[in-house]
Structure 1
């Protein structure tokens, strides 16, 4: 079934590429694109089978995201971050899963995980309020996943949880006026004080140890992988896809380009241009290969019933942030060598350059923190819980 989804996604790529300018103009992925992508089954790739999902290999999901981003960066980004949420909902209590998918298995969710909201313990759950930024694709969703620090009655922080909130309990504030990833509609979410039942929350401490109550109903190995491995991959993969799409357009452009400043020399005959694309293609391939290899290593441990070693989880984060950097470096190199025509509105290359650099500033792509954790662990130091 996953192959059918991948084939369906690839059939859509020309039309998605044609709509990329429209996505930028609207500042949201066109509804027609979301509908067509939904019809391929893409949003069900990581969804439990008991709710009409496919429980697919995460690499299949990442492959589809890479291809989508290679046609339109904003579309690939939104599909990645919205498409991964069924994986997390599968970890929630059965009550929460039924609330999301019980009457409509096509329900989609957006998110904003930074704990900028405030939750206070109360009988049976939490009182949640606050404002969250950067909820990509929220206009196409009817639920949201929000991060929040939990305070006890004495004002002390006692937990960090994810809160599942239905559309009628939050507002979307249109603030997304940016230079890159313009089509993602990554607007603010505002929640006036509202009650969230305990069953509609998930402790980040539990997800950090690869546990969720939903594993009882969804026992697949898919849902035993680390949260931060799966989710940070959804941030790097679109950027790899943008670099791959830029690479394809750069090669096509250079095959047609004549460099007037160099006495009419064909750009494709420039030996330095050939070296540049060789380096760029290697960086893109390396970023992708390491991402796939790390997923496979984690899957092998889960299949054997083993706890995933901390070093491997840190390696996933190491290669994830460096994968983003490799893709950005490749894209920068190609953009610099593409000539003035690459600046024209409507070209994929300039849009990918802007989109990739916008994606680079996501918290999951902070290289120093991820690399410091890996290096400190190699030296034998204790690693505090974080994004690993």
Structure 2
């Protein structure tokens, strides 16, 4: 089934590419694109088979996202973030899964994980209040994941959870007006004293231990992976896809470009342009090959039922932030060598450049934090972080 999804996505890539400017203008992915990706099965790649999903290998999911982002950065970003959420819902108690997928297996979930709201313990669950930013694709979702610190009656912090809320329990405020990833519709989500039952909360402590309630019904090794490893690459992969799209657009652009200042020399005859292309291609390949290598090792351990060791988790986070960095370096090399015509509104190179730099500022891409954690691990210094 995964191969059918991949083939179906290839069919819709030209349409996604044509709608890239429309996504920017609307500040959200066009409904037609979401519908096409839904019909292709993209949002079910990591969904449990019990609810019509494919339970695909993560690499298949990332390969699909890379292709989509290579056509339209914003569409690739939303596809990745929304597409990883069925996997996370598979970690929740089955009661929560039934609420979302029982009547509609195509239900989608957006998210905002930063604990910018307040959750306090009440009988049977939690009372949640707050505002969360950057919920990509929220207009195309009927549920949302929200991060929150949990406090008891005395105001003492007792947990850090992801909360699942239906669309009737939150308000979306249209605030997304940016220079990059304009088409993601990453608006704010507002919640005011909403009751969240206990089965619609998942502790980050459980996801870090890879021991979650959903594993009782979703027994595939796919659901025994660390949240941080999968989610962090769901952010880096579309950026690698944008770099790939920029690379292809740049090569096509340079094949026809004439450099006026160099006596009419065609750019494809310029040896320095070729060197930049080679450097960019190498950076993109390095980012992608490390991702595949790490995910292959991660799944091999899960398939054998073995514990995911901390050194591997640290390496994944190290290579994830470096993968983002490599993709950005590649796009910068290409953009700097594209000439003034690439600056025109509507050209793919400048759009990929803006989108990738917008994705770069996502919190999960903070290189110093991830690299320092890796260094601590190498020196035997204890490392504790929710995103490991």
Instruction: Provide TM-score, normalisation by structure 1.
Output: 0.99
> How far apart are residue 212 of structure 1 and its match?
1.1
Confirm whether residue 206 of structure 1 aligns to residue 211 of structure 2: no
| 2:111 match: secondary structure | strand
1:64 positional shift: 0.6
Task: Count the aligned residue pairs.
Answer: 388
Instruction: State the partner residue of 2:20.
Output: 20
Question: Where do 1:209-288 residues align within 5 Å?
Answer: 209-288=209-288
C-alpha distance in 2 between matches for 1:308 and 1:52: 28
Displacement of 1:385:
2.7
1:39-81 deviation line (CA, Å, top 9, x unaligned): 0011100000010000001101001100000000000000000
Q: Which SS does the other structure have where 1:381 is aligned?
A: coil
For 2:150, the equivalent position in structure 1 comes to 150
> SS where residue 178 of structure 1 aligns?
coil
- How many angstroms does 1:10 deviate by? 1.1
Query: C-alpha distance in 1, partners of 2:356/2:365?
Result: 11
Displacement of 1:300 after TM fit?
Answer: 1.2
Alpha-carbon separation, structure 2, partners of 1:301 and 1:42: 25
Counterparts in 2 of 1:68-107, with a 5 A limit?
Answer: 68-107=68-107
Match of 2:119, SS? strand
Post-superposition Cα deviations, 1:133-180, rounded to whole Å, max 9, x if no partner, equal 000000000000000000010011110000000000000000001100
Query: 1:64-102 CA deviation, whole Å, 9 max, x = no partner?
Result: 100000000000000000011000000000100000000
Aligned match of 1:307: 307
1:23: Cα distance to partner? 0.5
Divergent runs of 4+, >6 A: none
The secondary structure found in structure 2 opposite 1:134 is: strand
2:369 is matched with 369
Q: Where in structure 2 are the equivalents of 1:107-122 lying within 5 Å?
A: 107-122=107-122
Partner of 1:359: 359
Q: Secondary structure of 1:43's match?
A: helix
5+ unaligned residues in a row in structure 1: which ranges? Answer: none
SS of 2:178's equivalent in the other structure is coil
**Aligned-residue offset at 1:213:** 0.4
SS of alignment partner, residue 84 of structure 1: helix
Which residue of structure 1 aligns with residue 175 of structure 2? Answer: 175
Whole-angstrom distance in 1 between the partners of 2:303 and 2:37: 31
Which residue is 1:4 aligned to?
Answer: 4
User: What is the rounded CA distance, in whole Å, between the counterparts of 1:303 and 1:71 in structure 2?
Assistant: 33
- In structure 2, list runs of 5 or more residues that go unmatched: none
Shift of 1:9: 0.7
Give TM-score, length-normalised by structure 2. Answer: 0.99
* 8 Å Cα contact 2:243/2:352 also seen in 1: yes
More displaced, 295-304 or 283-292? 295-304
Residue in 1 that maps onto 2:344: 344
